Amino acid sequence: MQKVAAALVQAQKAFGPALKTNTNPHFKSKYADLSACVEAVIDALHANGIALIQRNVPTDSGVCIETVFVHESGEMLSSGPLHVPAAKQDPQGYGSALTYARRYSLMAACGIAPEDDDGNAAVKAKQDQRSREREAWIRDWCAAIDAAASSDELKDTTDDAVKAARDMKDADAEGQFLAAKATKIAKVKAKKGQTDAAPTA
Gap between the Cα atoms of 92 and 95, Å rounded: 5
Cβ(171)–Cβ(134) below 8 Å: no
Residue 165 has pLDDT above 70, yes or no: yes
Cβ(71)–Cβ(89) below 8 Å: no
Among the ranges given (118-122, 138-142, 147-151, 182-186), the one the predictor scored with the smallest mean pLDDT: 118-122
The pLDDT confidence band at residue 145, using thresholds 50, 70 and 90, is: very high
pLDDT at 195: 62
The pLDDT confidence band at residue 16, using thresholds 50, 70 and 90, is: confident
Cβ(110)–Cβ(12) below 8 Å: yes
Structure confidence by residue, pLDDT tens digits, 63-115: 999 999 999 999 999 999 999 999 888 888 899 899 989 988 999 999 887 65
Please tell me the pTM assigned to this model: 0.52
The pLDDT confidence band at residue 33, using thresholds 50, 70 and 90, is: confident
pLDDT at 10: 94
